Structure 1
């Protein structure tokens, strides 16, 4: 029953999102626009044959697209539902908190899939990025799922500090933008950053997301530009898995149906 209600809630969330044309446009257009700008401005080539900065940004920006879509959408959406009374009304229905969260995750998963498709299309069609082989797509699958779940749960947890829905976007985008600069998304290679910034970035999931997607789409020789000189897929899985657990625990501790429950 919980799963059924969650799926039904997910359909409602998707329909509501589709009706907000402004949200649809900006959710998908902004990361793609940034990719076009970075890929065009920094179009120089690396020592690796056939690899340009635009290819690197095309791979790395997938991490930004997921973080922006999952973290911000989940956090802002929950803050809005709490402020306008949606959560309070749902609390009086058979929908449980688990069903509600599942519905939000379905929305975020659908948006993240669409976002990633747009970014890969820009990378391939505009900048000539090559698509990976089958084995790399398997890595892409688990990396994508762990990234979406971790970012969504963290967005839900952070939404508890948002007092007003109108300020949600500004508050949630602060860590999003900051992490892009220290995690090897906007600044590449990450070895150009101070050692202590790399150490800070390694604590958070974005660094591992970006590094993982670079493994998927770039030649193996590009690993020399990473901080450890390796792709570190095992550590990537462990860090993202740990953040999924941390996000889930925080959600269980902080989830409230209304402002008065705080």
Structure 2
């Protein structure tokens, strides 16, 4: 008898993950709404033009970059904590007795995060358009850029979240372990603070990680091209963004395969 393929098992696992998430209403609401709530708070606090005479406001800049935060939060923190819990309560050990390989399990998590990212982004853009007059692009090329940015960001961050889940010794310590790097990267990568206001040394370090490139990429989709001058390199750099995110997808996969455990350290 032929065993199910990794792709098929992973897709089925992803559907199960989505159904479990949808049935947990409180988790669903707070997870999906959090980036939009942060956008509202930061948008109203910093609702001023990015430069004298400009039509674009800081609130619109935050809204575009906040997409990166939503993906990272769901893919890295939620997935990492969820895996730590599943490992601690024996769910992963039971799953190991099924046809689900580690690769299929990873794929299931990527499907879940992609579903969540689409809903989060739709809500976030609705808030940004309705409250802060963010203009959605009419150029199909920008939406194509958005599509590959979303996929690469989801894959990279999910795989890194899977790998980082092994850093937590228990489910109880997982939130503390995973929240700290996310919080640091949001400030140093220009998500919570305008990239032009950050020290160059801080930006140079953050450029080694995917979040800076995710934020820059999503800003390139939703902001005017004139705003590219405020980026570190004075340009949107889509080619370099794709290369960096693609590299982190490979790094994340290697780390996940090397560190993933079906049982906890005990």
Aligned to 2:44: 40
Aligned to 2:150: 144
Please, which moves more after superposition, 165-174 or 110-119?
165-174
**Counterpart contact for 2:216–2:231, Cα < 8 Å:** yes
Please, which moves more after superposition, 239-248 or 100-109?
100-109
Determine if the alignment matches structure 1 residue 165 to structure 2 residue 186: no
CA distance in 1, matches of 2:127, 2:191: 16
Per the TM alignment, residue 87 of structure 1 is displaced from its structure 2 partner at its CA by 0.6
Determine if the alignment matches structure 1 residue 225 to structure 2 residue 220: no
Aligned to 2:182: 176
Per the TM alignment, residue 85 of structure 1 is displaced from its structure 2 partner at its CA by 0.5
2:23 to 9, 19, 26: 19
Aligned to 1:113: 118
TM-score by length of 1: 0.95
1:29 to 28, 33, 52: 33
Aligned to 2:99: 94
Q: Secondary structure at the match of 1:165?
A: coil
Determine if the alignment matches structure 1 residue 255 to structure 2 residue 260: yes
TM-score by length of 2: 0.94
Aligned to 1:3: 7
Determine if the alignment matches structure 1 residue 154 to structure 2 residue 160: yes
1:80 to 85, 91, 96: 85
Root mean square deviation of aligned Cα:
1.3
Q: Secondary structure at the match of 2:48?
A: coil
CA distance in 1, matches of 2:199, 2:241: 21
CA distance in 2, matches of 1:68, 1:52: 25
CA distance in 2, matches of 1:112, 1:169: 20
Deviations 1:162-192 (A, max 9, x none): 112123222211111111111111111x232
Equivalent pairs, count: 260
Deviations 1:147-166 (A, max 9, x none): 00000000000000111212
CA distance in 1, matches of 2:30, 2:173: 17
Per the TM alignment, residue 92 of structure 1 is displaced from its structure 2 partner at its CA by 1.1
Aligned to 1:59: 64
